[in-house]
Amino acid sequence: MKFLDQAKIYIKSGAGGAGCISFHREKYIEYGGPDGGNGGKGGDVWAEAVNNLNTLIDYRYQQHYKAKTGVHGMGRNRHGAKGGDVTINVPTGTQVYEEDNETLICDMVEEGQRFLLAKGGNGGFGNAHFKTSTNQAPHRANPGLPADERTVWLRLKLIADAGIIGLPNAGKSTFLATVSAAKPKIADYPFTTLHPNLGVARIDGRTLVIADIPGLVEGAHEGVGIGDRFLGHVERTRVLLHLVSGLEEDVAQAYRTVRAEIEAYAEELAVKHEVLALSQIDALDPETLAEKSEELEKVAGQKPLHLSSVTHLGTDTVLRAMMDQLEHIKAGEEPEPVDQRWQTARLDTSRDG
């Protein structure tokens, strides 16, 4: 199934049914009087969040959604039936925007959450409704109210506990494939990942939902590379895992590039708690590893963890660091900084080797 995280659709509720003008006709009843029924209410258009969807691809092939018109009123005081509703099922985490793609209408963050996008028109009154003591034979009825129509944007933002950021080929997809059952595309060229991937990692009996997004390059916020479009998928996360490849000639500049793009995208994303890791260290000798770690620590202000997804070195350590920070955040506490000595102890006792 293809991944699509943005779609534009047209919705229209049902118009209300018209009221009826009718007079009772029956043998031996000389003055039957008005008996025109009311029109039925038009159908509504609803959005509902469901968990069995993870893409908006369905809305590429069907882009118009119209509810049914209310049934018109009839004689003998028969009221029209309500028009059928239309429910648009969207993945949990979908935001609905106005046609300008900037004004937020609703944010569907919980399974089963429903929101009324377009209300159906009320049905018109039949002439029986207008009968009074001074007007025994009204010849008037109301038409139903018109439908509500609008164009909206659906924008999916994946709901995950942690998000992975970094330059292209920093080892993000390899890490996700190593710690979870996700199967992202992995290759030795930039921009292998063209859309976000989700994986569920387990460590010490705890689970962690991780989102991997395409790599960022300098100028991403201006559309360079794949741009920053997919950064929305890590907006909901509470912890960021920033991977810097040990194969980069200037690891400090690699770190600064990604942080600059994060800050240019959104301040809320830039202040999220970050776990920093130097990846692909299996290709480095001990002296180079120590040198690059020191350079990264100077620019980031924290000691980087060491990680090699290919050899599983440090994968459990990184997962525990993210999980510990996440639990502190959920408890309303300030996460403790990752300590290099704590990392070394973890490496000695984990399956990382």
CATH number, domain of 325, equals 3.40.50.300
In percent, the amount of the chain with pLDDT more than 70 equals 88
Q: Output the furthest CA–CA distance in the chain (Å, rounded).
A: 110
Residues 34, 125: one domain?
Answer: yes
pLDDT at residue 188, rounded to an integer: 57
* Average pLDDT estimate for 153-180: 89
Cα–Cα dist 344/348, whole Å: 6
Cα–Cα dist 83/73, whole Å: 13
Asked if residue 220 has pLDDT above 70, the reply is no
SS (H, E, C) 265-320: HCHHHHCCEEEEEEECHHHCCHHHHHHHHHHHHHHHCCCCEECECCCCECHHHHHH
Residue 271 vs residue 84, higher pLDDT: 84
Length of the chain: 353
Residues 210, 124: one domain?
Answer: no
Cα–Cα dist 262/220, whole Å: 9
pTM to 2 decimal places: 0.77
pLDDT at residue 187, rounded to an integer: 55
Residues 191, 82: one domain?
Answer: no
pLDDT band at 214 (very low <50, low <70, confident <90, very high): confident
* Average pLDDT estimate for 281-297: 92
* Mean pLDDT for the chain overall: 87
Q: Which residue has the tokens 């989700």?
A: 198
Rounded to 10 degrees, the C-alpha dihedral 221/223/226/228 comes to 20
Looking at 110, 128, 156, which one is the last position of a domain?
156
Residues 69, 193: one domain?
Answer: no
pLDDT at residue 194, rounded to an integer: 60
Q: Is 2 helix (H, G, I), strand (E, B) or coil?
A: coil
Residues 196, 287: one domain?
Answer: yes
Cα–Cα dist 58/43, whole Å: 22
Query: Could you tell me the residue range of the domain that residue 109 belongs to?
Result: 1-156
Residues 180, 314: one domain?
Answer: yes
pLDDT at residue 339, rounded to an integer: 54
Q: What is the CATH number of the domain that holds 64?
A: 2.70.210.12
Residue 256 vs residue 232, higher pLDDT: 256
Two tokens, residue 22: 């009718």
Cα–Cα dist 192/210, whole Å: 18
SS3 content of the chain, % helix, strand, coil (to 5): 25, 25, 50
Least confident of 42-51, 115-124, 229-238: 229-238
Cα–Cα dist 91/56, whole Å: 7
Residues 133, 222: one domain?
Answer: no
* Average pLDDT estimate for 100-105: 94
Two tokens, residue 100: 């300008």
Residue 221 vs residue 266, higher pLDDT: 266
pLDDT in tens, 125-144: 999 999 999 999 999 999 99
Residues 107, 242: one domain?
Answer: no
pLDDT band at 340 (very low <50, low <70, confident <90, very high): very low
Residues 322, 187: one domain?
Answer: yes
Cα–Cα dist 353/351, whole Å: 5
* Average pLDDT estimate for 267-294: 91
pLDDT at residue 223, rounded to an integer: 59
Residue 19 vs residue 271, higher pLDDT: 19
pLDDT at residue 351, rounded to an integer: 41
Asked if residue 306 has pLDDT above 90, the reply is yes
Asked if residue 341 has pLDDT above 80, the reply is no
Residues 146, 260: one domain?
Answer: no
* Average pLDDT estimate for 281-310: 92
Looking at 122, 156, 190, which one is the last position of a domain?
156
Alpha-helical (H) ranges within 46-142 are: 58-61
Parallel, antiparallel, or unpaired for β 6-12 and 64-66? Answer: parallel
Asked if residue 73 has pLDDT above 90, the reply is yes
pLDDT band at 35 (very low <50, low <70, confident <90, very high): very high
pLDDT in tens, 173-211: 889 999 988 776 655 545 555 678 888 898 888 889 998
* Average pLDDT estimate for 325-352: 61
**Number of independent structural domains in the chain:** 2
Non-local CB neighbours of 102 within 8 Å, separated by 6+ positions? none
Looking at 130, 156, 182, which one is the last position of a domain?
156
pLDDT at residue 344, rounded to an integer: 46
Residues 128, 257: one domain?
Answer: no
Q: Which residue has the tokens 């776990």?
A: 275
**Which residues are 88's β-sheet partners?**
47
Residues 149, 170: one domain?
Answer: no
